[in-house]
């Protein structure tokens, strides 16, 4: 159905463009227009104007119909999984909204208990001698 409406819409658009280009320019703002074309009498101008109005109305109707058809075929989706129970958040992910903790609570959970005490290392570092510091680039001495 949508494809048929699109094809009709495109045919209306092409006909509308052709009719607008066939109409006689009345302003002559750029120094063009005026003169007698192959349709120079006033009656044919009225026919072109009416045909343009009919095609413009058909253009609006098909545009609205296309937007309605696009809205009907749109299925709402959700980012929340449809599991039976609450899913456990991934490690490092923020807690769900209903978990009872705000942003400040989440930030405080990541802090050590004592503000002034440094955190103890998880594994002791092996005691190895420190490498000797490089002496730097050698500069030739003049004698």
Can you tell me the mean pLDDT for 80-97? 61
How does DSSP assign 80-128, residue by residue?
A: S---SSPPPPPTTSPPPGGGS--HHHHHHHTS-SSSSSPPPPSSPPP--
The number of residues making up the chain comes to 143
pTM of the predicted structure, to 2 decimals: 0.44
Residue 72: pLDDT band (50, 70, 90) is confident
What pLDDT score does 56 carry?
95
Most confident of 57-66, 90-99, 102-111, 131-140: 57-66
Q: For residue 1, is pLDDT > 60?
A: yes
- With contact defined as beta carbons under 8 Å apart, do 22 and 38 qualify? no
What is the token pair recorded at 93? 């992910």
The Cα 52–Cα 137 span in angstroms is 86
Which three-class secondary structure state does DSSP give residue 15? helix
Neighbours of 12 (CB within 10 A): 20
pLDDT digits (tens, 9 = 90+) for 31-46: 555 555 555 555 566 8
Contacting residues for 39 by C-beta, under 8 A, at least 6 apart: 22, 24, 45, 48
What end-to-end distance do the CA atoms of the chain give, in Å? 97
The Cα 133–Cα 110 span in angstroms is 37
What is the token pair recorded at 131? 């490498």
pLDDT-above-90 percentage for the chain: 27
């Amino acid at each position: 159905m949508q494809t048929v409406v699109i094809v009709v819409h495109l045919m209306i658009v092409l006909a509308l463009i052709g009719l607008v280009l066939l109409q006689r320019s009345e302003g002559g703002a750029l120094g063009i227009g005026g003169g007698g074309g192959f349709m120079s009498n006033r009656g044919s101008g009225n026919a072109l104007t009416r045909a343009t109005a009919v095609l413009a109305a058909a253009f609006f109707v098909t545009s609205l119909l296309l937007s309605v058809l696009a809205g009907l075929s749109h299925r709402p989706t959700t980012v929340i999984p449809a599991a039976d129970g609450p899913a456990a958040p991934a490690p490092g992910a923020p807690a769900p909204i209903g978990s009872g903790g705000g942003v400040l609570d989440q930030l405080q959970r990541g802090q050590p208990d004592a503000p002034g005490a440094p955190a103890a290392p998880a594994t002791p570092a092996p005691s190895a001698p420190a490498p000797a510091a490089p002496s730097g680039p050698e500069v030739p001495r003049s004698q």
